[in-house]
Every structure is written in structure tokens, then in C-alpha cells.
A and B are shown apart, each in its own frame.
Chain A
Amino acid sequence: MLYICIAILAGCSIVIARVINANLATRIGIFQGTFFNYVTGLAFSLLFLVFSNESFNMSYTTLQSIPFLAYLGGLVGVVVIGLSNYIIPKISSFYLTLLIFIGQLGMGVILDFFNSHEISIGKIIGGLLVLMGLTYNLVIDRADIPVQNKKQAY
């Protein structure tokens, strides 16, 4: 049960961090916000490393042995946070979560296909169900907007 809560908390923390960071970005700028995200993130990563059971493992030879591609994850992260800072004030938090999830899922299926040349049927059926649910809720939103406008008109 404890671990179930921790896994749910991981999800909560993702959304909270995203919204807080975007809030900062609207006040000081998208890239400036991303900058502070990495400064505090690096500080806490270092703290965690010190208190973890891992030893510092970044000698020149170790760093050279890492495939170059693996370094690109950090760069992609910057694009993700920069784009999130831009988009969050413009879209509802719930739909952002779902749309990100759909993009993640679609790319996941493509990557899986390139890795194993297999398409996961479960992921596609599940993904379609998620899409159906999302579309249903979007239709409810659409139906609501004209009603609100009419009220304002009177």
C-alpha cells in the first residue's frame, strides 16, 4: 500500500512541478524559468547523490564510455520543459496531461516497433479507449461553450 501511494505521488509531483515552473516562467520568461528549474534540480540531485548509497561516478573515462546518444536525454528535457512553460498557461491542466500521455503512448508504440518489430495490440486498444474518453469529454466542453456565450449575451 505504501508503494502504491508513492507511485501515485510520483504522478502528482510531475503535474505540480510542471504548473509551478510554468507559473515562474510567465513572470520571469520561458528560458529564465527553465534555467531556475535546472539550478534547483541540480542542487537537489547533488544532495540526493550525497545521501544515496551510490558513489560519485563521473570520472573522465566513465563519461567517455557513455554512448553519445545518452547525453541527448538532458537536451530533450530542456525542450520538454521550455515547451511546457509555453503551453501550460494556454491549456487546461487536465487536457495537457492527457495530450502529453497520448503523444507519449504514440511515440512509445513507434519506438517499440523499431526495437522489436512488433506492435503491441493491448497498447493500441488501450490507447483507443483513452482517445474515446478524451474525445467524449472534449465534446462536452464544446457543447458548453455556446451556452455560456448565450448567457453573457443576455
Chain B
Amino acid sequence: MQGGNAMYKLLSAFIGALIALMIPLNGILAEVIGNYNASVLIHIVGLIAVIIILLVGKFKIKIRKGIPLYLYSAGAIGVFTVLFTNVSFSTLGVSLTIALGLLGQSITSIVIDHFGLLGMKAVKFEKKKMVGLLLIAFGIIVMNIY
């Protein structure tokens, strides 16, 4: 992998482990108060936590000019993720939603890497990598069908 090292890879996998912990926790919340209420509450808890971090660490928030407005849209897109997931969960079921979501994630990342979109470094896609991709896709299918 260009420009990466073992620590970054480990941290990336750690993020995944945290997500696996987070999903059932948020799931409990959604079951008790509903999907959209849960989304609001999760963001309130998160916002309070970030504000505490900013205060304790004495980080300053500067409103800087020249930052394109779309860079502030990530939080909004995240809420759309929740909405899309809820809609497809109810009709397609859990496994298929996850598998198709992973497909969407892989395609999007490859496109972003290949063209260096959204300020990312361009990492050209090589045809040889199709073999690895097919193995990955097959693995995802096995996991979800079983």
C-alpha cells in the first residue's frame, strides 16, 4: 500500500471494531425511542462529547473563509445514510442491506481513489486487482448467505 504503514492499518481495523460495537448500542436506543428520535439523541450525546473535548483540549474553532460549503455537509450525508439504511432494512432484510452497502462502499472508494476525487490522492486502479476484488465480493456473498 502506497504511503501507509502497519499502525495506520491497525487503527483502520480498530475503527471497524468500534463500529461493530456502536451499531447494536444505537440499535437498542432506536428500539426504545424510534429511529429518528434515536438519531437526534445520538447526535446530542456526540455533540456534548465533542464540546467537552474542545473545551478540555482548549481547541479553538475559527470560522475560516475560503472553505467550500460542501465540506460542512458530512453530518447531513450521515443522516441520509441512516435513512437509506432504514428504508432498505425494512424491505431487503439485514444481510442483503449490509452486502449491498459494502458493494456501494467499495465502488465509491475505488472511484474516489482512481480519480483522486474530493481532495484525495489519486491511486490508479489496476486491472490485476480485479482478482482480489472478486475474492472479496465472493467472501461477502458467502458471509451473508450462510
Q: Which residues of A contact B (CB under 8 A)?
A: 3-4, 6-21, 23-24, 26-29, 31-32, 34-46, 48-49, 52, 54, 56-58, 62, 65-67, 69-81, 83-84, 86-87, 90-108, 111, 120-123, 125-138, 140-142, 144-145
Contact = CB atoms under 8 A, between A and B. Distances in A.
Interface of B: 1-4, 8-9, 11-26, 28-29, 32-37, 39-47, 49-51, 53-54, 57, 59, 61-62, 64, 67, 70-81, 83-85, 87-88, 91-92, 96-97, 100-110, 112-113, 117-121, 123, 126, 128-129, 131-146
27 contacts: A3-B91, A4-B92, A8-B104, A11-B108, A13-B84, A14-B105, A15-B104, A19-B120, A21-B75, A24-B67, A28-B64, A31-B50, A35-B50, A38-B47, A38-B50, A39-B75, A77-B22, A86-B11, A93-B109, A93-B112, A99-B16, A100-B15, A103-B12, A104-B19, A106-B13, A122-B142, A130-B135
Contacts of B126: 140, 144
A17 B54 contact: no
Given A14-B81, A83-B11, A136 B135 contact: yes
Contacts of A130: 135-136, 139-140, 143
Contacts of B135: 129-130, 132-133, 136
Given A70-B29, A93-B109, A130-B140, A10 B4 contact: no
A12 B112 CA distance: 11
A76 to B, nearest CB: 4
A7 B132 CA distance: 23
A129 B139 contact: yes
Given A8-B101, A31-B53, A38-B75, A17 B81 contact: yes
A116 to B, nearest CB: 13
Given A17-B81, A40-B76, A75-B46, A104 B20 contact: yes
Contacts of B83: 48
A134 to B, nearest CB: 7
B16 A7 contact: no
Contacts of A52: 35-36
Contacts of A44: 75-76, 79-80
The residue in A36, A42, A75, A132 that gathers the most chain B C-beta atoms within 10 A of its C-beta is: A42
A47 to B, nearest CB: 8
A137 B129 contact: yes
B112 A15 contact: yes
B143 A105 contact: yes
Contact of A145 (B2, B36, B76): B2
